[in-house]
Amino acid sequence: MLVFDHVSKCFGDLRAVDDLSFELEAGEVFGLLGPNGAGKTTAINMAVGLLEPDEGVVRFADEAFDRNPRDAENRRSLGLAPQSIALYEQISGADNLRFFGRLHGLRGSDLEERVAACLDFADLVDVGKKVVSKYSGGMQRRLNLAVAIIHDPELVLLDEPTVGVDPQSRNAIFERVEQLRDEGKQVVYTTHYMEEAQRLCDRVAILDRGRLMALDTVPALITAHGGPGNLVVRTGDGESRHETTDPLATLAELQASQTVDHFQYLPPDLETVFLNLTGRALRD
Amino acid sequence: MNKIVAMAAKDIHILFRDKLGFFFTIFFPLMMAIFFGAMFAGLSRGPASIPIALVDADRTAGSARFVGRLEAAGGLAIERIPGDQALEQVRRGQTAVLVTLRPGFGAALDNPFVATPEVEMSVDPTQFAAAGMVRGVLLEAAGAELQAFMSDPSRMSVTNEQNRRLIEEFSPPSEARDDLLNVLDQIPRIPVLIDEAGLGSVTTGATGGFGPPLEIEQTQVQAQRRGPTNSYATSFAQAMLWTLIGGSVSFSMSIAIERSRGTLMRLLVAPITARQLLAAKGLACLGATLFTSSALITLGITVFGVTPTSYPLLALALLSGSICFCGIMMVLSVIGRTEQAAAGVGWGIALPFTMLGGGMVPLFLMPEWMQTLGNISPMKWTLIAYEGAIWRGFTLSEMLLPCAVLVAIGVLAFSIGATRLRWDTG
Ligand SMILES: Nc1ncnc2c1ncn2[C@@H]1O[C@H](COP(=O)(O)OP(=O)(O)OP(=O)(O)O)[C@@H](O)[C@H]1O
Ligand SMILES: [Mg+2]
């Protein structure tokens, strides 16, 4: 299980990750939500041992073991889909999968089974033999994800897996992530789209400028930091917004004095949570 | 090991998928081989001054005088060397022709009635044109020596006196002996008589009646059987060098490419060590360059009639050359961190070293100082090793020096590169 214990990482004067602590729980999709430059990728890179923390420790800890991800042997149990597509473009999708499978010690029929399963997972069975440079952006994204799981790791880290993908492919990726969770894997999912975090993640860590602002389930975060929701009503006078924690009572109050033609309740969401925590909007 | 092989196989697969890389590693060298081979096949090479090595086994005033004449004649760049290294030097291609003045050379010059001065010429079989010119210069110098002797009555009298004493000492009195002594007496008068007869302007050579002024025994340093395929033997050795350069630059770029495309990150996250990664890159480079250089020489042998003098030594040379350039590849990948930088640095470093090492203009056409400077070029040692096995007819012990130099450069460069290479993804 992945543990961050008071981890910090600096680039020169910049504290890209600042005193970050969290512990993954079994079978959850863990979200790292934050705007550009929040430190998500830096945290991921430390989780997989690409970067060494300046302070604190990153561990794969359990009752039975306590391992450093920088040891080659310990990397068997994790799979990374990097933020930018990382594939060999000159060879086919199947050959990419085959190559990384071999690096993880797979051979023979085991390897071929996994290659087939991953092509299926990424919905690339028909184009498995085509060279990757001929793939569309969305197909490359899906293959980028599939390569991360070729060796069937316990922990899958997905760094903004939906960047530059059309809504349809994005939905396909969501389904894949849910499939991974159903298979009992732990998933770390970074994003700056709050809708994604809200839909996919069991718990979300909100990062801003390297610091952990809040960490909890989505409903708990909203309850704690979301503040009131908004009731939007349309009357003969036009449209108006009303902050409220009890939309039904507010609506009844409004109807007492005027005729409401149309109303809509906007509950607080992660966007408002982020705004309330940082004073800034999630997307600039 | 399985993982290392998997990584190496992937790299080779990608190299041959990459059309530009493939061009530089195979087609470009091959085109050079055919082009230069055909060009030199049609050219008789005549450098302004022919380098020869000279061994003076006689070491008399006469032989020294003769060497002085050769030097003054021009057309030859004479390097005087001790006799024991001489043959090796020709065989390694450091000199085209070896001239040995045999013992007794000086004595024969001073006494042309009794003996003819003898020289031995050992000739590299690819250098027949040069050998012919050297022959001419030798004969000319010997002719001039003889003429000087004949036109100097005082030198002739001295010789005559010596000969008279010899005859009187060793030959019992007889009619023939008396005739011989009479003839001897007349000899110093020959130039005077020629003059008096008004023939001075006609007989300039003054060698008539004495036969050739010099006896030249010409040997080949190794069996000659190439003829017109010669020039391909040289150009294919150069092409094999070029394929090594192309391969090493391509592989140094491949590390930069892995970095820029992000696949290096995946490799670093996989359960393999940095050492395995290095081993894989080295193995891939070794395998690819061995393959391409072997393919080229195979083509040279089957299509262009190149006939290596030793296949085992050729294999040794191929292996050593590839090892050397794997090391160079490592150093290049440290210096060029991006794809463009790797290519630029690679070719930028490779080209001057290649020119210096004889990869473009054959070594023997270069000025001497440049040839000496060429010793710092791994390309020169590679060519020496390749040519040693293809047409210079090296023995195993002769082959060991260039091969040892190549392997040493390779191992050193690889370890420098491997310790300096930063496996980061940035
Ligand atoms: N190798 C590096 N050298 C210097 N600064 C870096 C380096 N990597 C990241 N940073 C800086 O650290 C901060 C955090 O970067 P990081 O990539 O972790 O953010 P992120 O949350 O992944 O952002 P994005 O959503 O844009 O991917 C940024 O300000 C970035 O400029
Ligand atoms: Mg990022």
pLDDT tens-digit series, residues B251-277: 888 888 888 888 988 988 888 887 888
Q: Please answer yes or no on whether B2 and A86 come within 8 Å at the CB atom.
A: no
Point out the residue among B2, B273, B425 whose CB comes nearest to the CB of A50: B425
Instruction: Identify the H or E element spanning A120.
Output: helix A108-121
Structure tokens at B246: 């192309």
- Determine which residue's CA is closest to atom 24 belonging to ligand 1: A36
Do B265 and B407 lie in a common domain? yes
Do B183 and B324 lie in a common domain? no
Q: Are B269 and A80 in contact (CB under 8 A)?
A: yes
Nearest ligand, CA A39? 1
The CA distance from A182 to B288, in Å, is: 45
Do B327 and B416 lie in a common domain? yes
- Which has the higher per-residue pLDDT, A4 or A73? A4
Least confident of A245-254, B85-94, B289-298: B85-94
pLDDT at B411 over 90: yes
pLDDT band at B176 (very low <50, low <70, confident <90, very high): confident
Per-residue pLDDT at A43: 95
Do B242 and B290 lie in a common domain? yes
Do B131 and B249 lie in a common domain? no
Per-residue pLDDT at A1: 79
Q: Please answer yes or no on whether A86 and B262 come within 8 Å at the CB atom.
A: yes
- Which has the higher per-residue pLDDT, A77 or B85? A77
Q: Please answer yes or no on whether B263 and A102 come within 8 Å at the CB atom.
A: no
Structure tokens at B177: 């002996």
Q: Quick check: A107 contacting B, CB < 8 Å? A: yes
pLDDT at B203 over 60: no
Per-residue pLDDT at B147: 81
Structure tokens at A184: 């009992």
pLDDT tens-digit series, residues A5-48: 999 999 999 999 999 999 998 889 999 999 999 999 999 999 98
pLDDT at B229 over 50: no
Domain membership of residue B425 (yes or no) is no
pLDDT at A192 over 70: yes
Per-residue pLDDT at A166: 83
Per-residue pLDDT at B319: 96
Domain membership of residue B204 (yes or no) is yes
The CA distance from A67 to A80, in Å, is: 17
Per-residue pLDDT at A270: 87
- Which has the higher per-residue pLDDT, A179 or B360? A179
Do B152 and B287 lie in a common domain? no
pLDDT at B326 over 90: yes
- Determine which residue's CA is closest to atom 4 belonging to ligand 1: A11
CATH of the domain at B81: 3.40.1710.10
pLDDT at B227 over 50: no
Per-residue pLDDT at B191: 66
Beta-strand runs (E) in chain A: 2-11, 14-23, 29-33, 55-61, 66-67, 78-81, 155-159, 186-191, 203-208, 211-217, 229-235, 238-244, 262-266
The CA distance from B133 to A55, in Å, is: 79
For residue A243, the distance in angstroms to the closest alpha carbon of chain B comes to: 47
pLDDT band at B355 (very low <50, low <70, confident <90, very high): confident
Say how many CB pairs under 8 Å bridge A and B. 70
pTM above 0.95, yes or no: no
Domain edge (last residue) among B220, B243, B269: B220
Do B180 and B242 lie in a common domain? no
Q: Please answer yes or no on whether B268 and A76 come within 8 Å at the CB atom.
A: no
Domain membership of residue B279 (yes or no) is yes
| Total count of domains within chain B | 2
pLDDT tens-digit series, residues A138-190: 899 999 999 999 999 989 999 999 888 888 888 888 998 999 999 989 999 99
CATH of domain A2-222: 3.40.50.300
Domain membership of residue B330 (yes or no) is yes
Question: B397 is in which domain, residue-wise?
Answer: 2-40+227-420
A-chain residues within 8 Å CB-CB of B2?
102, 105, 107
pLDDT tens-digit series, residues B142-158: 888 888 887 777 777 77
Among residues B248, B349, B217, B232, which one has the least CA distance to residue B297? Answer: B232
pLDDT tens-digit series, residues B96-112: 788 899 998 988 888 87
Please name the residue of chain A whose CA is at the shortest distance from the CA of residue B19: A90
Domain membership of residue B164 (yes or no) is yes
Domain edge (last residue) among B220, B235, B256: B220
Domain edge (last residue) among B187, B220, B253: B220
The CA distance from B232 to B227, in Å, is: 10
pLDDT at B225 over 50: no
Please tell me if the CB atom of residue A56 comes closer than 6 angstroms to any atom of ligand 1.
Answer: no
Q: Please answer yes or no on whether B2 and A102 come within 8 Å at the CB atom.
A: yes
A-chain residues within 8 Å CB-CB of B269?
48-50, 75, 78, 80
- Residue A88 is which amino acid? Y
Domain membership of residue B426 (yes or no) is no
B-chain residues within 8 Å CB-CB of A78?
269
Point out the residue among A72, A82, A91 whose CB comes nearest to the CB of B273: A72
Q: How do the domains of chain A map onto residue ranges?
A: 2-222, 228-267
- Determine which residue's CA is closest to atom 29 belonging to ligand 1: A37
